Chains A and B, each alone.
Chain A
Amino acid sequence: EAGVTQFPSHSVIEKGQTVTLRCDPISGHDNLYWYRRVMGKEIKFLLHFVKESKQDESGMPNNRFLAERTGGTYSTLKVQPAELEDSGVYFCASSQSVSREYRTDTQYFGPGTRLTVL
């Protein structure tokens, strides 16, 4: 079974440009998450999709970030315009379903996209 994949693995752009990150979850996983790790800091939650709907977008830093998951399959995260502080590693994770017993899920992560804004 293929794991979570992310594209590109690295992206270097200039301040003010637009970048789109893509995440392909594990097939059949309804839940998709985006996280970000800024250099030297902890990983922070950005948002959570259930199928094509945004379940929780409380972690999105500002309106320069736009996430979509059309058709409930892959997701894109667009940063427009990019700022220096957007640099970091963007992780995507997916999970099959939420356990009825424990009301939580096991999230499987992709390798991340390293974004550098110059």
Chain B
Amino acid sequence: AQSVTQLDSQVPVFEEAPVELRCNYSSSVSVYLFWYVQYPNQGLQLLLKYLSGSTLVKGINGFEAEFNKSQTSFHLRKPSVHISDTAEYFCAVSQVPNAGNYQLIWGAGTKLIIKP
């Protein structure tokens, strides 16, 4: 079984400052890793994903994440945030190989609050 922990329920940060949203996972098998974002009053949107290859993954809107297998982490970073980044961010994993099981296992979410 897999589980995902997002250590911070809220992260306040000043505009133009860097941010890191933390995600750790637990799994007895290999996993694929995802970050989704939910802007106010919108659906969940894929930011980026790690399937294989380079452990540094770049996504939309200037976000990137680094897969660290030894630390079982997949932290999300952005060097300079904008007010439009205000949203809730979700880390998720799916099992590899998944033998027909494609469900995503989710963290509890982190609300990014941008202070002007």
List the A side residues contacting B44 at CB < 8 Å: 91, 93, 109
Interface of B is mostly: loop
Q: What distance in Å separates the Cβ of B105 from its nearest Cβ neighbour in chain A?
A: 7
Count residues of A near B (Cβ-Cβ below 8 Å).
31
By a beta-carbon cutoff of 8 Å, the part of chain B in contact with chain A is: 4, 32, 36, 41-46, 49, 51-52, 90, 92, 94, 96-98, 100-109
A-B pairs under 8 A by CB, number: 66
In the complex the two chains form, is B104's CB within 8 Å of A107's CB?
A: yes
List the A side residues contacting B94 at CB < 8 Å: 104
Knowing A43-B90, A104-B98, say if A109 contacts B106 (CB, 8 Å).
Answer: no
Q: What distance in Å separates the Cβ of A44 from its nearest Cβ neighbour in chain B?
A: 7
- Bound-state Cα–Cα, A59 to B103, Å: 9
List the B side residues contacting A59 at CB < 8 Å: 103
Interface hits, A101-115 → B, CB 8 Å: 102-112
List the B side residues contacting A108 at CB < 8 Å: 46
Is A70 positioned at the interface, with any CB of B under 8 Å from its CB? no
List the B side residues contacting A93 at CB < 8 Å: 44
In the complex the two chains form, is A91's CB within 8 Å of B98's CB?
A: no
List the B side residues contacting A112 at CB < 8 Å: 43
Q: Mind listing 30 A-B residue pairs with CB under 8 Å? A: A3-B43, A35-B104, A42-B107, A42-B108, A42-B109, A43-B104, A44-B106, A45-B104, A48-B102, A55-B100, A55-B102, A56-B100, A56-B101, A56-B102, A56-B103, A58-B103, A98-B102, A102-B32, A102-B51, A102-B52, A104-B32, A104-B51, A104-B96, A104-B98, A107-B104, A109-B36, A109-B43, A109-B45, A111-B43, A112-B43
